[in-house]
Structure 1
Amino acid sequence: MPSERILVTGGAGFLAGHCILALLRAGYAVRTTLRDPAREQALRAMLAGAGVETAGRLDTAVADLTADDGWAQAAAGCDAALHVASPLPAGAPRDEDELIRPAREGTLRVLRAARAAGMRRVVLTSSFAAIGYGKHLARPYTESDWTDPTLPGLAAYPKSKTLAERAAWDFVDGEGGGLELAVVNPVGIFGPLLAPDLSASILLIRSMLEGKLPALPRLMFGVVDARDVADLHLRALTDPAAAGERFIATAGDFLTMQEIALALRDRLGPAADKVSTRVLPDWLVRFVARFSAAARQAATPELGRSKTASSAKARAMLGWEPRPAVEALAATGESLIRLGLIRR
């Protein structure tokens, strides 16, 4: 309901920026949290550049996932929340708790603040990483599937997202006091940048466009546009049927890195002339991983495996219709070029 004020956590982030933009365009008032208050001016400039007026409709609060300070004040007077903030480093952390602790404890901080403020619903941004890692299925993954966080060798990021989402459901079931929860589980989020900040998925496209990946491992990714993920958050926020549900956000079948490269070359033309479409054999990736940290990130149990996921639930229950994956990839590349972020 557009008369409501919605809390969005992590307002300086890529997806959060698109969520704030979508909420303001839909007529909501928004409060967003920032770890650094100095980033407020850049956020307002970014939204103004997208054609949205923020005066009297956007305010900010200082809060960090790793501390209790500020969350009660951030939640006060808000009717619902989109909890988007979550750590996602470009590389693997030295200690997995660097990801797990702020993801899980930060989620609980937001939920406690939402309950205390009397909010009606929180929409949590989880991830496909909480659904589709560790076990390999012949069928598409659905919302009924869960990543097993106890699996030996599971990377810190999927473990953090799984534990954080599990903690959220446990909290609402046990201590929620009537607070509703809906969860969005996006695959790799691409699409147009609103500002020069680069998420891990955007860094992948930049590396390809700069020719820094001369050959590609046989890995598959789901692709979805940030604008469509923001739209799904709004649908999960407003539709009564979304309470207590998870929703996978993917534009369609997963793509190999070679298919992503071919899409960039097709849609961006000469601007993508440095994008390689060569594929590395799995054995070579694993061999090089003995000596290279970058190769070790590719030499995961996912190497060479085919997988995909279904967004049928979001489409059927909430009427969600994402744009094709190739459009999201092209928009990523075009915005990187437009913002002067490609070093050639």
Structure 2
Amino acid sequence: MQSGLVLVTGASGFVGKWTVLELLRAGFSVRGTVRSDLKAEAVRAAVHEHLGADAVGRLSFVQTDLMHNAGWLEAMDGVSAVAHVAAQIVGIEPKDPHEVVGPALEGTERVLRHAIAAGVRRIVMTSSIATVAYGHGHETGKRTYTEEHFTNLEAMKYTWAYCTGKTKAERRAWEMAKTDDLELTTIHPGAIMGPALDEDTSISLGLVGAILEGRVKARPSNGFSLIDVRDVAAMHVAALRKPETAGHRYLAAGDYVPFPEVAEILREAYPDREISRKDVPDWVIKLVARFVGGSARQIINDIGNEKHFDRSKGEALLGRPFISGKEALLASAESLISLGLVKKATA
């Protein structure tokens, strides 16, 4: 597929906006799903700034909600493919997991069901490394995962809502693809960094902002497999252009960077900022996760071990190496500062 109308769900999100941009840049027309006119206007503004008025002319919107049927028939009308990017991501583990699991699982079912009804067979879906690297008995040391690994929720010692929702949603998507003859490709990002287009960023960039502002007082030992948002968007476009990617999963996870190294990269680039050098012991994170929850619950499975991901298949899809973790981090920080989304450094 080299052209046509592509539906992008969650078009106003961090990954969604970049996916819209890259699809338009590649010559596609795009219809985005948004939850309000205000969100649609923000996407239009980003497209106009980066691609100009002609690209805006190939962009349209429909208001929808992953948890409701209204608007989805209209959204699917006349489209040749769907990039299902929309997701509910929270920084603090919710008391009710359904707040995250519902939009992931039910939302995916709703999108695919309406695509099937409209005769749309080509789906590229944003999944996550959360659906890959958990429930395999890996508690210490270094291990590398490939597209062949699939998270086993039943074997996880500590579950969290995002992992549960994403894993159930992807499994359901593959079931529906098999039953209804869909041409499904899934993209699996790690921690997504890279330049923000406006103030509507992401949890990951919020962490970078918190480090730059000195609000992160102590650093956990665990790390992240980083990926630049521009690579994630480019992988969606590449998958849509290559029919042979249907039926495949692609990992979008590059350099593994420990949290203390993240802080040091930012300190070196911004020496005028008060970035903490204190480390928090692993046992403290485990204690907090077990009895308090919160954000600690979301990283406890990564304390004491390194999860690396085979990048060969993803880089082959792009036809080039991933943007480095350091470059993605610094692009995140630079954009947050230039957009005025972090406080100025104190004198």
TM-score greater than 0.5 by the shorter chain: yes
Q: Which residue of 2 aligns with 1:261?
A: 263
Q: Which amino acid aligns with 2:136?
A: K
Report the equivalent of 2:124.
123
- How far apart in 2 are the matches of 1:341 and 1:144? 39
CA 1:243–1:96 in 2, change beyond 3 Å: closer, same or farther?
same
2:227 to 224, 235, 246: 224
* CA distance 1:289–1:147, change in 2 (3 Å): closer
Aligned to 1:204: 207
Could you tell me which amino acid in structure 2 is paired with residue 73 of structure 1?
E
Deviation digits for residues 29-63 of structure 1 (CA, Å, limit 9, x no counterpart)? 00000011232222211221223334420000011
Q: Hey, what's the Cα distance between the residues in 1 that align with 2:76 and 2:343?
A: 41
The reply on whether 1:193 has 2:189 as its aligned counterpart is no
Map of 1:165 onto structure 2 = 170
Distance (whole Å) between structure 1 residues aligned to residue 241 and residue 285 of structure 2? 45
1:92–1:156 Cα contact (<8 Å) kept:
yes
Compared with structure 1, are the counterparts of its residues 6 and 146 closer, same or farther at alpha carbon in structure 2 (3 Å cutoff)?
Answer: same
What is the rounded CA distance, in whole Å, between the counterparts of 2:26 and 2:70 in structure 1?
Answer: 30
Q: Deviations along 1:249-291, whole A, 9 cap, x unmatched?
A: 0123x1110111112223x2335x2222332221233456678
Cα distance, 1:326 vs structure 2: 0.4
Which segment is superposed worse, 141-150 or 156-165? 141-150
Pairing of 1:264-283 with structure 2 (within 5 A): 264-266=266-268, 268-270=269-271, 273-283=273-283
Shift of the 51–297 alpha-carbon distance from structure 1 to 2, 3 Å rule, reads: same
Aligned pairs, number:
339
The SS at the match of 1:222 is strand
Is the CA contact (8 Å cut-off) linking 1:24 and 1:52 kept in structure 2? no
Cα contact 2:290–2:297 (8 A) shared by 1: no
* Cα distance in 2, alignment partners of residues 2 and 286 from structure 1: 49
Question: What residue is the counterpart of 2:183 in the other structure?
Answer: 180
1:27 paired residue number: 27
* CA contact 2:93–2:293 (8 Å) conserved in 1: no
How does 1:60-99 map onto structure 2 within 5 Å? 60-99=61-100
| Contact kept in structure 1, 2:234 and 2:318, CA below 8 Å | no
Aligned to 1:243: 246
Deviations 1:205-244 (A, max 9, x none): 1111111112201111110000010001111111122110
Distance across 2 between alignment mates of 1:245 and 1:298 = 27
Give the direction of change, closer, same or farther, for the CA distance of 1:259–1:34 in structure 2 (3 Å limit): same
Unaligned stretches of 5+ residues in structure 1: none
Name the aligned partner's letter for residue 56 of structure 1.
G
1:162 partner letter: T
Structure 1 position 301, deviation (Å): 3.0
Cα separation, partners in 2 of 1:173 and 1:145, compared to 1, 3 Å: same
* Structure 2 residue aligned with 1:308: 308
Q: Show CA shifts across 1:176-233 (max 9, x none).
A: 2x32000000001010000101311111111111111122011111100000100011
Paired with 1:295 and 1:242, the residues of 2 have a C-alpha distance of 35
Aligned to 1:42: 42
The amino acid that maps onto 1:231 is A
Q: Percentage identity across aligned positions?
A: 40
Change (3 A) 1:63 1:243: same
Contact 1:83/1:122 (8 A) holds in 2: yes
Task: Check 1:97–1:5 CA distance in 2 against 1; reply closer, same or farther (3 A cut).
Answer: same
SS at match of 2:306: coil
* Residue type at the aligned position of 2:241: T
